[in-house]
Amino acid sequence: MFYKTIREKSAETGAVSHDLLARAGFVDQLMAGVYTFLPLGFRVLKKIENIIRKNMEAVGGQEMLMPALNPKENWQKTGRWETLDILFKLKGAGDRDYALAPTHEEVISPLAKKIILSYKDLPIYVFHIQNKFRNELRAKSGILRTREFMMKDLYSFHATQEDLDSYYAKVAKIYKKIFNECGIGKNTHETLASGGSFSKYSHEYQTVTDAGEDIIFICKKCGFAINKEIAGDKKECPNCGVTEYEEKKAVEVGNIFKLGTKYSLPFDLKFRDKDGKEKPVILGCYGIGLGRLIGAVVEVNNDEKGIIWPKQVAPFDIHLISVGESIKVRRAAEKIYKDLSRPRFANESRRGSPTKPGQKKDVDVLYDDRSDKSIGEKFAEADLLGIPHRVVVSEKTLAKNSVEVKERAKSVVKLVKIKLLQKFLISNP
Ligand SMILES: [Zn+2]
């Protein structure tokens, strides 16, 4: 395993997520605001990516990939070459100017112009998951605010405002599902934000944490959340009319936005409607920052010993630990490792032949077979890494044909017969 853990908390006073992810060997800081995802962190990133991908496909999203390196001309067309202060500008060969994209309206809009011609081509939904760049003056709070970051952005194209409105509501609903699946649903508030020049409102998804740089206001009566900008001119809760708010620090993990014709106009993105008239295409955009999401997950799922990964996004399902040097223990642990890691079929017939596809149950096992670490060190590291189940094999447990199983989030240790282990883990996922 390509990683190194650091036991001591860092002296820096920063985000808990940054401290834990760096100490546990999930990420490594190359420079301020730029991170490497090590194998452990990369596994989490892939899990989150897959949750997002599955849900984007569920709302009709087609995945593609747009480049980060953009020509200056596209950004001049929308005026953002001059106005967007965080835009990364590069000078290339032949004195040509380029931007490193922080968002992709300047790429998707001229692209859509080549494909969308008629109302028959609408609506359409495309997304990509890709690295973006922000030329931040200061980068802080670890992976919560970075200069290079992975993001999912979905773009929707519509013939009418009504169609955008109904799709927007659909995405808002699936966003809640995504954050639930990532284990931060309870702490994440759909927050009313201003909509800019083309729409009255947009929505941010704000995860409450002290490491957050945003402030949100949550209605004490109905739980409706609004951001600072909106709270500035709203004395009463837009939902229930009550005027008492709870003020919370939060980090924005996602946002959804009705762009309207803001980007279709500069790129002349039009379609021919049923009545034969040319009309501008109406756009929506929907973002989620993956690194930030991981940071937010860790901010709300940890204790003094380390990370407590929600099962759906954990890098591994099981942290298998062998205790001591004995051959017997080593052999038993290796057998358990192989048996658990082997793809299995939930509904094997008696003859042992796999039944229907899609019933495979993989279990990802991290096996700590190091002989130069004490049991105390291995346990401390298991707590720091935060894998949902710890399974321990020792002389003592083998004497009872068993292993010790402990959930990271709980303190109780259970003795489970080895032959019942698979069943136990499936019924206690
Ligand atoms: Zn209210």
Secondary structure (H, E, C), 155-184: EEEECCHHHHHHHHHHHHHHHHHHHHHCCC
Helix (H, G, I), strand (E, B) or coil at 352: coil
Packed helices 39-58 and 161-181: angle between N→C axes, nearest 10 degrees: 140
- Evaluate if residue 352 carries a pLDDT over 90: no
Pairing state of beta strands 365-368 and 318-322? parallel
Confidence of residue 140 (pLDDT cuts 50, 70, 90): confident
List the one residue out of 45, 55, 54 whose CA is nearest residue 309: 45
User: How far, in Å, from the CA of 238 to the mean position of ligand 1?
Assistant: 7
pLDDT value of residue 421: 93
Task: Report phi then psi at 217, rounded to 5.
Answer: -120, 120
- Evaluate if residue 351 carries a pLDDT over 50: no
- Evaluate if residue 354 carries a pLDDT over 50: no
pLDDT value of residue 217: 95
Q: What angle do CA 95, 100, 102 make, to 5 degrees?
A: 150
Confidence of residue 13 (pLDDT cuts 50, 70, 90): low
List the one residue out of 268, 241, 284, 293 whose CA is nearest residue 74: 268
Longest dimension (CA), the chain: 82
- Residue 106, H or E segment: helix 105-115
pLDDT value of residue 150: 97
User: How far, in Å, from the CA of 17 to the mean position of ligand 1?
Assistant: 31
User: How far, in Å, from the CA of 195 to the mean position of ligand 1?
Assistant: 20
- Evaluate if residue 71 carries a pLDDT over 50: yes
The full DSSP string for 223-244 is --EEEHHHHHH-SS-TTT----
- Evaluate if residue 158 carries a pLDDT over 70: yes
User: How far, in Å, from the CA of 175 to the mean position of ligand 1?
Assistant: 21
List the one residue out of 51, 47, 317 whose CA is nearest residue 181: 51
User: How far, in Å, from the CA of 234 to the mean position of ligand 1?
Assistant: 12
Sign, CA torsion 44/46/47/52 = positive
User: How far, in Å, from the CA of 72 to the mean position of ligand 1?
Assistant: 45
Ranking 73-82, 259-268, 338-347, 420-429 by mean pLDDT, the lowest is: 338-347
Using a pLDDT cut of 90, give the percent of the chain over it: 82
User: How far, in Å, from the CA of 240 to the mean position of ligand 1?
Assistant: 4
User: How far, in Å, from the CA of 232 to the mean position of ligand 1?
Assistant: 16
For the chain, the first-to-last Cα distance in angstroms comes to 24
Place of tokens 């001119």: 233
pLDDT value of residue 427: 80
User: How far, in Å, from the CA of 192 to the mean position of ligand 1?
Assistant: 12
Contact indicator for 178, 129 with CB cutoff of 8 Å: no
User: How far, in Å, from the CA of 201 to the mean position of ligand 1?
Assistant: 17
User: How far, in Å, from the CA of 218 to the mean position of ligand 1?
Assistant: 8
User: How far, in Å, from the CA of 408 to the mean position of ligand 1?
Assistant: 37
Average pLDDT estimate for 345-359: 44
- Residue 216, H or E segment: strand 214-219
Q: What angle do CA 355, 356, 358 make, to 5 degrees?
A: 125
CA distance 72 to 312: 41
Which tops the pLDDT comparison, 273 or 10? Answer: 273
Q: Beta partners for 321?
A: 368, 392
- Evaluate if residue 31 carries a pLDDT over 70: yes
User: How far, in Å, from the CA of 236 to the mean position of ligand 1?
Assistant: 8
User: How far, in Å, from the CA of 150 to the mean position of ligand 1?
Assistant: 34
**How far is the CA of 196 from the CAs of 100, 193, 230, 239, 299, in angstroms?**
23, 9, 12, 21, 30
User: How far, in Å, from the CA of 245 to the mean position of ligand 1?
Assistant: 8
User: How far, in Å, from the CA of 254 to the mean position of ligand 1?
Assistant: 22
CA distance 316 to 330: 20
CA distance 160 to 229: 28
- Residue 361, H or E segment: strand 360-361
User: How far, in Å, from the CA of 222 to the mean position of ligand 1?
Assistant: 4
User: How far, in Å, from the CA of 182 to the mean position of ligand 1?
Assistant: 26
**How far is the CA of 158 from the CAs of 74, 165, 187, 261, 301, in angstroms?**
22, 10, 32, 10, 39
pLDDT value of residue 362: 67
- Residue 46, H or E segment: helix 39-58
Q: What angle do CA 406, 408, 413 make, to 5 degrees?
A: 20
User: How far, in Å, from the CA of 295 to the mean position of ligand 1?
Assistant: 29
- Residue 68, H or E segment: none
Q: Beta partners for 404?
A: 392, 415
Average pLDDT estimate for 308-317: 96
Rama region for 142: left / alpha / beta (φ>0; ψ in -120 to 50; rest): left
Contact indicator for 156, 122 with CB cutoff of 8 Å: no
b/e map 192-208, b = 16+ CB within 10 Å = bbebeebbeebbbbbbb
- Evaluate if residue 225 carries a pLDDT over 60: yes
Average pLDDT estimate for 204-214: 94
Contact indicator for 426, 389 with CB cutoff of 8 Å: no
User: How far, in Å, from the CA of 7 to the mean position of ligand 1?
Assistant: 44
User: How far, in Å, from the CA of 226 to the mean position of ligand 1?
Assistant: 10
Confidence of residue 301 (pLDDT cuts 50, 70, 90): very high
Mean per-residue pLDDT over the chain, rounded? 92
User: How far, in Å, from the CA of 231 to the mean position of ligand 1?
Assistant: 12
pLDDT value of residue 361: 54
Q: Beta partners for 130?
A: 151
- Evaluate if residue 18 carries a pLDDT over 80: yes
Written as one letter, the residue type at 36 is T
User: How far, in Å, from the CA of 154 to the mean position of ligand 1?
Assistant: 30
pTM of the model: 0.94
pLDDT value of residue 183: 95
pLDDT value of residue 347: 47
User: How far, in Å, from the CA of 128 to the mean position of ligand 1?
Assistant: 35
User: How far, in Å, from the CA of 244 to the mean position of ligand 1?
Assistant: 8
Which tops the pLDDT comparison, 354 or 237? Answer: 237
Q: Give residue-wise pLDDT tens across range 357-398.
A: 444 456 899 999 998 999 999 999 999 999 999 999 999 999
User: How far, in Å, from the CA of 257 to the mean position of ligand 1?
Assistant: 22
Task: Report phi then psi at 35, rounded to 5.
Answer: -125, 145
- Evaluate if residue 425 carries a pLDDT over 90: no
User: How far, in Å, from the CA of 230 to the mean position of ligand 1?
Assistant: 14
Sign, CA torsion 100/104/105/111 = positive
- Evaluate if residue 231 carries a pLDDT over 70: yes
pLDDT value of residue 356: 44
Confidence of residue 8 (pLDDT cuts 50, 70, 90): confident
User: How far, in Å, from the CA of 123 to the mean position of ligand 1?
Assistant: 34
Average pLDDT estimate for 16-30: 95
Confidence of residue 403 (pLDDT cuts 50, 70, 90): very high
